Each structure stands twice: as C-alpha cells, then as structure tokens.
Amino acid sequence: MHFFTLSFALLPLTTRATNVVLSNDDGWAEINIRTFYNTLTAAGDSVVLSAPAENESGTGSSDAPATPLTEPCEYNSCPTGSPAEGNNASNTRLNYVNSYPVTSMRYGIQTLSPKFFGGAPDIAVAGFNVGANLGSTVLISGTVGAATEASKEGIPAIAFSGTTGSQTGYTAPVQTYMTVYADLSTNVTQSLVASGKPYLPSDIWLNVNFPAVNCSTCSSPADFKFVLSRINSATSSTAKDVNTCGSTRLPTETTVVDTAGCYASISVGNAVAKTDANATEQAVVLEKLRSILSCLP
C-alpha cells in the first residue's frame, strides 16, 4: 500500500510551477478553499482562485451572467454595491464572481488565467467541498459542476469533497481536518500532474471524496489510502470496469468512504453526463495514479 508521506517523494522535479484555477460552491471566503489555496501555493503551484461571492451549494451546473452585489459577499468579505467580479485588494489572485460555480470556473479559465498565466491553466480543481459528494449527489453539486465545466472547456479537472466540516469563514482558526484535506487534495493534484500530459482524457474529470477526520482516527494525511472507485452502483447490464485489485468491478465511492481504515475514493467520471467513465478511460487514470492507489481490505 502507498501512503501520503511516500507519494511526494515519487514526484519528479518540475521546471516551472503548475498553473491552477481553483473554484468551489461554498464561496470564495469559505475557509476550506482558502486553506487549499495556501497549501497548493506553498507546494509550488501558481494558483488563481475564482469562486462564487456567496454560498452556492447544491446549484449543480446552473449558469448565469454575474451581477453587481445587492448585499455583502459571504462573511462580509466584500460590501454591498461591489462589482459583479472582484478580488482581494491585497492579493488579486483571490477572486469572487457573483454567480454560480460554473460561471466562476469559466471566468477563472477564460479571463483570469490569461491575465495571470498568459494562457490556459494546466489544471482546474474545485473544493474541497463542505460535505461529501457521493453517488447521485454529483448531479446537484456545484463543486462538481465547476469541475465538469472546466473539463468541457478542455481543462483537466478534479473535484474534492470531505465528510468533516461545516460552513466557516476564512478568518476562523484552521482546524486539523482542513489541513489534512488540503494536503491530500494537493497530493492527488500533483500526482496527476507528475504523470505527464495529457493529464486526463477529453471530457473526463475525477471525483475525490475523503472520509471523516477525527482526533482518534484519520487525523493525519499519512493515515489515508486512495482507492479507485465508481460513482454509481453497477447493474447487471453495466459494462465491466477496469481490471484492478483482482476484479473488473470497482467499488462505489460510498463503499470506499464507509470502509473502516481511512480510505478515500477517486472516481473517473464523464463530464458531459456526470456519470462513470468507461473501462478504457478508467485504465488511463489507474496507470497515472498507480503510485498512490491501494485496494480495499
């Protein structure tokens, strides 16, 4: 089995920072996305945050033009009357969009990325979400909506979600679960990038879910193991999955997260339908992330 503490050692040295657009559905001032931003940046990535001005959880792939603020941004992070898009005055890489996650991700890719990176980002990530996005929940998740929008824009994308946590403003103290999820999310992101381009097949995105963090178990990144999974339960007519861990049927992400032992799920999804990718596409991801993947007991 491969553990987090070993995985970074497997990553090759890169000649330049990876350009990342980061979004979510919980809002630009929620502490999880700010913790993830700080962790990615500290790990050497060049990151631009582009997320909704307000909590837009559960809005799926809704999309609408951004409009000026008629009330303050969440946690009073910008005042009433602020423009439709704006940023933190002391760090212009922290941006809000007064609309949905899909709209925010597109703004990050089409407007902010050329400004900060001189072109398209290398990869897009969303989250880590407050609460898991397992199974059919992906259809209504704004975090998933942001990731699938990036994929449809031609940018490799990953959605991250964690079981532990509640809506919290970015000025609150950072808790253990936040640093654990941020470290794990950064590990998956950099492991995929280290696998080389193209990072993912066209119209394919990854859905990553973390189990609960508490003081007695799953309290450190080293406690976690990643398992390749599927989003939805298979039926008798469902085509075979990639052959791994001695089976041609992957466990569902719900099964993985509910298994005792700190297992996190990585599912391979089709961005257009928000459903499971086929075995050929799963096999690409299996090969790319083999160094960090384990099997359920």
Residue type at position 125: V
Q: Write out pLDDT tens, residues 68-105.
A: 999 999 999 999 999 999 999 999 999 999 999 999 99
pLDDT at 283: 98
Name residues whose C-beta falls within 8 Å of residue 251's C-beta, 6 or more positions apart in sequence: 227, 229, 230, 265, 296
Per DSSP, which regions of the chain are E strands? 19-23, 46-52, 85-88, 91-97, 123-130, 157-162, 204-210, 225-229, 263-270, 275-276, 293-294
Number of Cβ atoms within 10 Å of the Cβ of 154: 11
The token pair that represents 76 in the structure block:
């009073």
Question: CA separation (Å) from 225 to 7, 211, 270, 282, 284?
Answer: 11, 10, 24, 18, 19
Q: How far apart are CA 242 and CA 262, in angstroms?
A: 23
pLDDT in tens, the chain (297 residues): 333 333 333 344 444 799 999 999 999 999 999 999 999 999 999 999 999 999 999 999 999 999 999 999 999 999 999 999 999 999 999 999 999 999 999 999 999 999 999 999 999 999 999 999 999 999 999 999 999 999 999 999 999 999 999 999 999 999 999 999 999 999 999 999 999 999 999 999 999 999 999 888 899 999 999 999 999 999 999 999 999 999 999 999 999 999 999 999 999 999 999 999 999 999 999 999 999 999 999
**pLDDT number for residue 164:** 97
pLDDT at position 217, please?
Answer: 85
**pLDDT given at position 278:** 98
Residue 163, φ and ψ in degrees, nearest 5: -70, -40
Identify the pLDDT of residue 214: 87
Question: What's the confidence (pLDDT) of residue 3?
Answer: 35
Per-residue model confidence (pLDDT) at position 226: 98
**Residue 82 C-beta-side C-alpha neighbours within 13 Å:** 22
pLDDT of residue 216: 84
d(CA 271, CA 193): 19
pTM value surpassing 0.85:
yes
- Grouping H, G, I as helix, E, B as strand and the rest as coil, residue 174 is coil
Rounded to the nearest 10 degrees, what angle do helices 31-42 and 176-194 cross at?
A: 50
